[in-house]
Every structure is written in structure tokens, then in C-alpha cells.
Amino acid sequence: METRDWLNEFTTLKQVNPNNPFTVPVGYFDDLRERTLSLKNLDDITARQAGFTVPENYFEELNGNISSRITVAGSLSVENTGFILPDNYFDELSNNIQSRISIEEAAGSESVGFEVPEGYFENLQQNITARISIEEAVTADEPFAVPAGYFEKLNAAILSKTVDADEQPQQTEQQPAQQRGVVRRFISSGVYRYAAAACVTIAIGATFFLNRDTHSAATQANPQHADSFLHSRLSNIPLNEIRGYAEQNLDASETQSYISENVSDEELLDYINTEL
């Protein structure tokens, strides 16, 4: 018989149920050798290589990553992806690629072929203001208006003029065109003044030469009355004509010498007081 005297030394064990609470799974010992070898191999592999590592903050961001993955998967499952292929896309694809290559080559070159004119930015504000003024003037209301019924009467007016011109061609050829007289202003202010001065000069000169012989005879006959005879002749000529003739034909030095020799100061004063 098995003795259980040792249980008396461990009072705690006496309180445990003597029935075994654990059971061995079915076939546990049949597969024990294979499972032991596999566990040994796994331990060897993990000892030589760490394998995979969990990224930093992986578990903190796991919920957000799962939600975003679910959203993306739902979007991909939709039939309409939101993109539409343009018409004739593949037919024009070659030309579009060639044009894009040409544009990139031109943009990559040093000289693009365009130059800013001299003083462009200095005159830019004035040019913009002028362009705005021109556009406002062009877009303004039209100052001219077509009369009422113009287009309705236009055809009849054209026909009346052309038909009347065709019906009377001979009458137009027989009747000579009447030449209208041209009214011209013959007398202008400047020309009139010069013409009047010339006429006065001619009149004085003609009078002087016509009476030259008479004056010479009278002077020879009575030399003392020469000045009085000249004075009587000049008294018949208007004072304005004498002044004009003197201003145009006489020299101041000659007149001064003649007056200083033949006329006294008292006579000059009397003449000025009476005539001027």
C-alpha cells in the first residue's frame, strides 16, 4: 500500500482535490516527436535571424490604416472610376507627344526667340490706359442712327434714280452743263491798302509831271511867287494823300535839308498850328 504520511507534513496539499484536473489530448504522445523537432527548428531559425520587426507606432496607427484600406477597397469596387477617355485620344497621341517634346526643347534652349522691347515696362501703364480708352470708345453707344424707314425706301429710291437716268440720256447730252459763276472776293484788306497807296502815288506823280511845264514858266516869269504857286497847287490835294506819298517816296534827310534852307522856324510853327 502506498503511504501518504508525507501529506501530513504539507497541510496545503491536503486542501487540494486529489482528482487530477488535467487531461492529455487524444494522440498527444503520437505527434509529440514531430512537434518537438519543429519547435527546435523554429528556435534555431529565430536564434540565427531576427526575421520581421514591427514598425514604430504600428499598433497606434493600425485602426486608421484599416479604415483607409476599407475606403480604398470600396472605391475600387465601384464600376465608374470618375475618369473618361477623351475622343480620338489614341489617334492624336503621337502628335501630342511630338508637340510636347518640341515645347520642352524650346523651353530648355537658351534663347526662346522673344525679346522685351526697349522701354516696355516704362510705357506699360500709359499703353494699358490708352487701350482701355479705345475699348470704351468702341463699346460706347453708336452716335449715328439710321432714319426711320430707311431700308424700306432704299430699293425704291435706287430704282427711281437709275431708271430716270436711263430714260433721259439724250436730254442730258443735248443740254450743256451750266457753269456756275464763282464769286471771288476781289478786295482784301491788305491788297486794297497797297492798291490805294499805289493809285495815290500815281495820281500825285501824274499831276506833278503834267503841271511841270506850267510851273516852270510861272517860276521863270515870277521867281518870287514860286513857293506860293506850289503851295496853291498842293492845297488842292488832300492831306492824307500828301502824307502817304511823303512816307513812301521822300527821304527824311532830304526833306530836312530843304526845310532848313528855305523855311524859317516861325513858318514851321504856324504851319503846324494851322494844319496839324
Q: Where are the domains of the chain?
A: 194-275
pLDDT at 128: 92
pLDDT by position in tens, the chain (length 276): 456 677 777 777 777 777 777 788 888 888 888 989 998 888 877 766 666 778 888 889 999 899 998 988 877 765 665 677 888 888 898 899 999 998 888 777 666 567 788 888 898 898 999 989 888 877 766 667 778 888 888 888 887 877 766 666 555 555 555 555 554 554 445 555 666 677 777 877 777 667 665 555 555 555 555 555 556 666 677 777 777 776 666 555 555 555 555 666 677 677 666 655
pLDDT at 16: 74
- Can you give the pTM of this predicted structure? 0.17
pLDDT at 1: 44
pLDDT at 186: 47
Find out whether 197 and 248 touch, Cβ atoms under 8 Å.
yes
pLDDT at 266: 75
pLDDT at 140: 63
